[in-house]
Structure formats: structure tokens, C-alpha cells
Amino acid sequence: MGFFVENAGIIAALPLWVFLIIILGRNLAVYEDRRITLLLTCAGTFTGLIWSLFILFWTFGANEPFSSNITWLEAGAIKLSFGWLVDNLAALMLVVVTSVSLLIQVYSHGYMHKDDGYHRFFAYLNLFNFSMLGLVLSSNLFQIYIFWELVGVSSYLLIGFWFTRPSAAKAATKAFIINRIGDFGLLVGIIAFLFFSLNWWAASGDVYLGFTSLQPAAEYVLNTAGPAIYFLIALAIFFGPIAKSAQFPLHTWLPDAMEGPTPISALIHAATMVAAGVYLIARAYPIFEASPEVMTVIAWVGAITALLAAVIAVTQNDIKKTLAYSTCSQLGYMVMAMGAGAMAAGMFHLTTHAYFKAMLFLCSGAVIHGLRDQQDMRYMGGLRKHMPVVAYTYLTGCFAISGLLLSGFWSKEKIFSGLYSAHEHFLLVIALIVALLTAFYMFKSYFLTFEGEYRGHAHPHNAPKVMTVPLIILAVPSALLGFVPIDEYVKHSEHHHAAWWLPVISIGIALAGVELAKLFSARPVGPFRLLNMDMYYYWFIDNIFLPLSGLAAAFDRYVIDGIVNFVGWKKRFEGWLIRSLQTGQVQTYLTVAFCGLVGLMLVFVLLQWLWMLA
């Protein structure tokens, strides 16, 4: 298995090669048959999945992570490298990304087979996979930032895939801009961390910003820069995950990302883009762990996001928007756990969430496909009779995400145990409230969509097998993955002891949410305007940012530019005046001299006359 580990970079290279083949496909006969594009895409991802499984098996007997690097550039004392790092964390994410992506690709063939942009869609899909797999395999912070940006570009292309729709173009732009805000903080944090640790990297001889040596490097930065500066550095790095994983207050782009095709919603919300932020927290965990203040900020940002997004999800009537806010809330769970010291529990929930959330989104896509693009749950109902496979797999996802004995139950219990062991009792209460809201809005969406009488106008039809088979396959890990001790695989030293009553309470809370959903599913809940963060952003832009920008622009135009322009005008005037006197004619010079002499004599006479009068 050493061959697969030593050449792990091929896993990321495969979708890149497929991407290049598709975009150059007009000259390679690829566009003549859509099945060629599908087979190339699935073959590349399937190969990557098998490769990843070999790497996963290798990690079971490995004592040390494997790292392979080459120097990319040198500039003075700075030496930056490119390579890959294979350890338990990377192996787990490789399997998750490739397995979920493969099923979404198969599903996409049925969902997009009539779309004119079929080949372009799969080209973007492969670029997205290349970016995410490259991010997972990155061996240092410098390299991960490059793939971090590529993930952002890929998401922009996929969210705005139907770019002729103004709403899709607007959503893609919004996602891109908000993520640039977080990326700017991440870049500043990486540069500052490198600045304060440069001497340490030079002395250690290790890969600059390498993940295997982040802990001693972080301690060196803490001692060199001091706690206050270190807090700002770590907080700046955390800004990247805040935007990428849609944490408060930069979470507003994720629900709008629903404007992309539903398979993309599944991919972004399950195993790729939003997972990248949580994965970066886990990778850079030694940096955050060195500052208790930053860990507190991380935990509370996650808690606020989990609660806020869950409350908003309750108010949604759009099935995809409900799932989108659910993703924000579940990501908040993961971030909260990591801030409380339960990093492995957060990664456990990331893994289980990837499968059941991908399945839920693909189920919603099957519903929308069967109802001719209807997304409002108020015009659904009774679809279990028309789409039994979709209904039962969606129900499996509802049980899993609500923590009712399926995979989500076990990963959530690890988070609850981590919060309890860390004595974060207030955060634990928030987590349990979010669990109640999760069960409520998820089963509300199930009852509105699949039970009762059909309330719509379209004629529902079942999804084809190419769409339902991936749902059935995803239902298996969604139900059973919780029995695998993923948290112990990620971090063997992380053990949390919780009270016996925690699982009982969490199950009771989830069941209460289900009962509330039965009672109130038919009653529409209006949107809470106070929870609309875009409203505050637009108010800030219109009433504060734009007036201040106008004032700054006026100051720049009339004061700064005015001073510079006055100096230029003064010099031009002086030049014109001197140039006017330089005629090259002796007669003119004599005339000017004579006039000057006469003027001096007149002044002298005037002054003498005034003196005599005085």
C-alpha cells in the first residue's frame, strides 16, 4: 500500500485531467456523446475512491503520517513548498469527498441530462473536486490557501451555472464576495503567523508552515508575539472558516447558493466547500488550541450560528432553503464542538453529516424534478405515494439529522459529551435547544412534502433509477456510520465522559420535536425579519458605508487632489509667465529692461515724495 500513499497526489490530479479533457473535448469527440463525459468523470472519481480506501487501510497500521514535498519557490529567508500529507484526518476526508462526489455525479446525469450545459456542468464539477481534494492533501498552510481559493472559484462557477438567471448570477457574486472577506482574514493571518515564526522554520529545517510542526511553531509565535498579538493572528485565520463554512455573521451566502443545480447544492453542503472550513480548523487546530480566548470565540460563533440558523429554518417554506439553513446549523454544531476542545467529535459529525445531508439534498432534487421545479412545500404533500424511494430515504435522513438512533445520534452524542466534559454547560443547553429545533423543522418538511394530500398543480412523477439508486446507497452510511468510532480514529487521545442521562435527554428532545412537527406542520410560520442578516448588511451599507465612502471620495477629490492640482497649476502658470518673456528678440529684452528701469524710477520718486510729505 506504500505505492498508493507515496502517490496520493494522483487522487487530486485525476479530476483535473478529466476537467481538461472535457473543456478541450470539442477536438477530442467528447461532446459527441454525453456518456463519454459521464464515464470519464465517474471513472476518475471511482479510481480516487479506491485509491483513498487503500490509503485509509494503510493508516490503520501507520505510526507516523507520510509527507512528500518539493520546494516551489525561495525568496530570501522564505522557502515555500508543494506536496501532500497523508494521515488519519486526510484519509478520512479523501474517502468522504470521493464517495459522496461519485454518487452525486451519477445522480447528476439523471438531473442534468436535458440541460444544454451538460458538459460544462461536469467540467465545473471536476474542477471543484480537484480543488477540494488538493485542499485535503495539502501539507502546509501556504498550499492549502491556494486550493482554498480554487474551491471559491469553483463554487462561483457552479452556483452561477444558470448565469442567464439574474438570481443565480446574484447568488454566485454574493457567495464570491462574502468568501473573499473571510479569505482576506485568512491570508493576513497566515502571513502574520509566518512573519513571527520565520526564524523557527529556518532553524527547524521543516516545511515552512507545515501541518506536522504547527504545534511547536504556534508556541514559538505565542512567546514571540505575546498573547494579544497571537489572539489577533489566530482570529484572522479563523475568519477563513467563518466565511467558507457559513458561520455567523458571514453565513448569508449559503442559502442563496440554492440557485445552483440541486446536485451542486448537495455537493457544496455535504462534503466539499462548507466542509473545507471545518477541515481547516481541524488542520490548524494547534494554532487555535494555544489561545483559550480564540477557542472561546470559536465555540460561541458556532453556538450562535447553530441556534440562529435553526430558528430561521423553522420559518422556511422552500424545501432547499430549509436544508440550507439546516446545513448552517449543523456546521455550527461542528465549530462549537471544536471550540470546546472536542475536535474529533466535530470531525465525526462532519463525516456523518456529509452522507445524510447529501442524501437529503438529492431527495429534494428528486422532488423538484418530479414536480417541474416546484420548491415550495406548501404546494406539495402526499408524494410518498408517487415517490416511495425518495420518501423513505428522506425520512431516513430526517431520523439521522435529528439524532434518533441513526448516524447523527452517535456523532451528536460525542459533541454533547465533549461540551459536558469541558464544563460548557451553557453551550450544552444551546446545543440541546438546537436539537429540538432540528427535529421540528426536518420532520415538518417531511410531513409537508410526503404526507397528507397533494396540494400542488403539477402531475408528480417518480425519479428515474439513476437518481434513486444513489439515494439508496447514501441511506446505508446515513443509518449505520454512527456505529463506526470515527472520533477515536481521528484523535486517539480525545475521550469525553458524559452522564448517562445525556443520550436519554437528547432522544426525548428529538421525539418532542417530531411531535411538535406533527401538530404544527400544517400551520405556516412567517419569516422573522429581525433574523434577516441581509437587512442589517444593506442598512449598514446604505446608511453608513456609502455615506462614509462618499465623504472619503469628496475629501480625496477636492482636498488631496485639489492640493496636488494646485501645485501643478502653479507650476504651469509660472512656466507660462517665464516662457512668455523668453522670445529670443533683443529688442524685446531691451524694451522689458527699459520698462523695468522706468518702473523702478517711478517707485523711487513716489517713495521720496511720500517721505517729504511725512
Residue ending a domain, among 283, 298, 328, is: 283
Considering the domain boundaries, does residue 212 fall inside one?
no
Considering the domain boundaries, does residue 604 fall inside one?
yes
- Please provide the DSSP assignment of 409-452 as one string: HHHHHHHHHHHHHTT-HHHHHHHHHHHHHHHHHHHHHHHHHHSS
Residue 376 is given by DSSP the state B
Q: pLDDT averaged over the chain?
A: 86
pLDDT band at 586 (very low <50, low <70, confident <90, very high): confident
Q: Which residue has the higher pLDDT, 178 or 491?
A: 178
Query: What is the per-residue pLDDT across 399-450, written as a single tens digit (0 to 9) for each?
Result: 999 988 888 898 899 899 889 888 888 999 999 999 999 999 999 989 988 8
Report, as an integer, the average pLDDT of 77-97: 89
CB pairs under 8 A, 24+ apart, for 111-116?
Answer: 111/261, 111/262, 111/263, 111/365, 111/369, 111/467, 112/261, 112/263, 113/34, 115/261
pLDDT band at 239 (very low <50, low <70, confident <90, very high): very high
pLDDT at position 115 is 77
Residue ending a domain, among 230, 248, 283, is: 283
Considering the domain boundaries, does residue 293 fall inside one?
no
Q: Is the pLDDT of residue 31 over 80?
A: no
pLDDT at position 527 is 54
Q: Is the pLDDT of residue 524 over 60?
A: no
Share of the chain above pLDDT 70, in %: 94
Threshold 0.75, pTM exceeds: yes
Considering the domain boundaries, does residue 50 fall inside one?
yes
Q: Which residue has the higher pLDDT, 426 or 501?
A: 426
Q: Is the pLDDT of residue 14 over 90?
A: yes
pLDDT band at 554 (very low <50, low <70, confident <90, very high): confident
Q: Which residues span the domain enclosing 270?
A: 1-180+257-283
Q: Determine if the peptide bond prior to 249 is cis (ω within 30°).
A: yes
Our count of domains for the chain comes to 2
Q: Say which residues have a Cβ less than 8 Å from residue 463's Cβ, sequence separation at least 6.
A: 110, 366, 369, 370, 387, 389, 390
Considering the domain boundaries, does residue 523 fall inside one?
no
Report, as an integer, the average pLDDT of 389-401: 92
Considering the domain boundaries, does residue 155 fall inside one?
yes
pLDDT band at 296 (very low <50, low <70, confident <90, very high): very high
Nearest to 5 by CA among 43, 61, 46: 61
pLDDT at position 496 is 63
Task: Give the CA distances from residue 139 to residues 134, 237, 278, 416, in Å, rounded to whole numbers and listed in that order.
Answer: 10, 17, 17, 31
Q: Which of 97-101, 392-396, 533-537 has the lowest mean pLDDT?
A: 533-537
Q: Is the pLDDT of residue 383 over 80?
A: yes
Considering the domain boundaries, does residue 291 fall inside one?
no
Considering the domain boundaries, does residue 118 fall inside one?
yes
Residue 559: how many CA atoms within 13 Å on its side-chain side? 6
